[in-house]
């Protein structure tokens, strides 16, 4: 691993900003016992036990008091010596304590730097390290549980099983390279073809599960199209059901992309409201509209909301015509409680269309099922782990290489090379073959103190 770091001591406030009962400062470095003594007035903390202490400034006055935890390396999260100071969770106290740590030789930690050190010291592999951030960012209980599974190594284990079998197959194929005249018979006798087919099936299966896991993490981007008062907010609340609707309207809603997020069956739905897509001369608002269009470009689905009594208005047809043609549409006729129509599902120009009442809730379940079907969500099943687009790419490439290996089965040298590339692709997931710049990108997206 070429991605080295200087073993300088790092420190950060690990708890969320703001006021809380307890605030935690985390410190990682080498030989931190003198550090612990300096801040606790000479105490020698027992490893992995809580030591109650005052925390002292350089002039001997107390800054705070609380618990000091000392985890000598390598049995710590980062693999180095780790100290945690659990003080009072006020921003001023935390800032003073952090400043004291810097005075004692620490520098401020970068985002994700503790986890990065854990990875570099082989305490976690890359997929596990990523799941630390995913657990913190999880937007549903299902996502959180799946992230924890990945963190505990469930996903990495699947990859290791695949890589081990791949290595076995590679050994078989490479053994034939020295005896080219007999290679095919040898491979046939060892059932290399069956092993290759089995590997392809296994990678495809893991890819299927990873796709579901990625859905849980990334969710689905939905463009909401509908005139004022058609029932957009009512529908979002009805869809969210028992889940609390997490409304994240970005500041200056009329000027920026309007987004709301709700969760259906564990899958986050990111709603882009086209209410912000009106004509305007306001320069700032124009920028916001451009951003909204950029978000629309990347969306997975357009949800067109129509008042059943009015049908599709000319204004809405104009807006729909502006949407990217590749974007699937789902039509929703709302307010059926004000008509004699019953809830139901039908097809309209090749697009699904749902009749419902956001107010009475009739037909809302039908829409939920349609939305989940659109993204291919099978429901939270056993063994689901959280995955990222990066993992899907690696699995897709691994599968592709295995298919290539089959195509060149009669040419051992080419087959050996294809298998080697398949292994490289799969190993990228756990980080055995991951370029430094990618590591930088992955860890820079963590929060500070993690
Ligand atoms: P938005 O402007 O598109 O977000 O629309 P709202 O959700 O704020 O709804 C506008 C009005 O329509 C409110 O008074 C809602 O109570 C009402 N409304 C929404 N959905 C229904 C429905 O299915 N049936 C009836 N009767 N009223 C509805
Ligand atoms: Zn709204």
Alpha-carbon gap, residue 304 to 97, rounded angstroms: 53
433 band by pLDDT with thresholds 50, 70 and 90? confident
Structure-token pair, residue 7: 């073993």
Q: Is the CB of 238 under 6 A from ligand 1?
A: no
What is the complex's ipTM, to 2 decimals? 0.96
Q: Is 381 flagged in the annotation as binding? A: no
Q: How far is the CA of 230 from the centre of ligand 1 (A)?
A: 6
Q: Is 335 in the pocket of ligand 1 (CB under 6 A)?
A: yes
The protein residue whose alpha carbon is closest to atom 15 in ligand 1 is 231
| pTM: predicted TM-score of the whole model, two decimal places | 0.76
| Residue limits of CATH 3.40.50.300 in the chain | 219-375
Q: Is the pLDDT of residue 396 over 90?
A: yes
Q: Which of 146-160, 171-185, 197-211, 310-324 has the lowest mean pLDDT?
A: 171-185
* Ligand 1 contacts CB of residue 361 (under 6 A): no
Give the residue whose CA is nearest to atom 19 of ligand 1. 231
336 CA from centroid of ligand 2 (Å): 20
Residue 226 Cα to ligand 1 midpoint, Å, equals: 12
Q: Is the CB of 237 under 6 A from ligand 1?
A: no
The CATH number assigned to the domain with range 10-124 reads: 3.30.1360.120
Q: What is the pLDDT of residue 424?
A: 94
How confident is the model at residue 158, as a pLDDT? 93
Task: Decide if pLDDT at 109 tops 70.
Answer: yes
Say if domain 219-375 classifies as CATH 3.40.50.300.
yes
> pLDDT, tens digit, for every residue of 22-40?
999 999 999 999 999 999 9
Q: Is the pLDDT of residue 56 over 60?
A: yes
CA of 296 to the centre of ligand 2 (A): 17
Mean pLDDT score, 402-407:
96
pLDDT-based confidence at 180, cuts 50/70/90?
Answer: low
Q: Which residues pair with 334 in a beta bridge?
A: 307
The class that CATH gives domain 131-215+388-431 is mainly alpha
Domain with CATH 3.30.1360.120 in the chain: 10-124
- Tell me the pLDDT tens digit for each residue of 217-256: 888 899 888 888 888 888 988 887 764 444 444 433 333 3
Q: How confident is the model at residue 291 (pLDDT cuts 50, 70, 90)?
A: confident
The predicted model gives 258-283 an average pLDDT of 76
């Amino acid at each position: 691993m070429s991605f080295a770091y200087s073993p300088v001591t790092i420190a950060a406030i690990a708890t969320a900003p703001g006021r809380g009962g307890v605030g935690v400062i985390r410190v990682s470095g080498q030989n931190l016992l003198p550090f612990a003594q300096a801040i606790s007035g000479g105490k020698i903390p027992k490893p992995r036990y809580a030591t109650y202490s005052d925390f002292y400034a350089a002039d001997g006055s107390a800054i705070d008091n609380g618990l000091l935890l000392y985890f000598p390396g390598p049995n710590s999260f980062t693999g180095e010596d780790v100290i945690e100071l659990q003080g009072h969770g006020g921003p001023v106290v935390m800032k003073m304590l952090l400043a004291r740590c810097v005075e004692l030789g620490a520098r401020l930690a970068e985002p994700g730097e503790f986890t990065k050190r854990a990875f570099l010291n082989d305490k976690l592999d890359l997929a596990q390290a990523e799941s630390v951030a995913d657990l913190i960012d999880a937007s549903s209980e299902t996502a959180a549980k799946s992230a924890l599974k990945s963190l505990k190594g469930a996903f990495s284990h699947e990859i290791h099983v695949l890589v081990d079998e791949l290595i076995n197959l590679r050994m078989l194929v490479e053994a034939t390279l020295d005896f080219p005249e007999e290679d095919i018979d040898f491979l046939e006798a060892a059932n290399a073809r069956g092993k290759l087919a089995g590997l392809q099936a296994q990678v495809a299966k893991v890819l299927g599960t990873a796709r579901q896991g990625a859905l849980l993490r990334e969710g689905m981007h939905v463009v909401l199209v509908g005139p004022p008062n058609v029932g957009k907010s009512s529908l979002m609340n009805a869809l969210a059901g028992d889940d609390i609707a997490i409304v994240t309207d970005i500041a200056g809603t009329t000027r920026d992309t309007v987004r709301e997020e709700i969760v259906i069956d564990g899958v986050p739905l990111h709603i882009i409201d086209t209410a912000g897509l009106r004509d305007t001369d306001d320069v700032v608002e124009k920028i916001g509209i451009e951003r909204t269009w950029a978000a629309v470009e990347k969306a997975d689905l357009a949800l067109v909301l129509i008042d059943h009594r009015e049908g599709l208005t000319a204004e809405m047809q104009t807006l729909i015509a502006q949407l990217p043609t590749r974007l699937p549409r789902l039509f929703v006729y709302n307010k059926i409680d004000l008509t004699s129509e019953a809830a139901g599902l039908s097809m309209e120009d090749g697009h699904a269309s749902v009749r419902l009442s956001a107010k009475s809730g009739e037909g809302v379940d039908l829409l939920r099922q349609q939305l989940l079907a659109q993204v291919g969500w099978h429901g939270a099943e056993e063994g689901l782990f959280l995955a990222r687009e990066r993992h899907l790419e690696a699995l897709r490439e691994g599968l592709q290489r295995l298919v290539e290996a089959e195509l060149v089965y009669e040419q051992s040298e080419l087959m050996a090379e294809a298998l080697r590339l398949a292994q490289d692709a799969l190993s990228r997931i756990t980080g055995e073959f991951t370029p430094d710049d990618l590591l930088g990108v992955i860890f820079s997206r963590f929060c500070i103190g993690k």
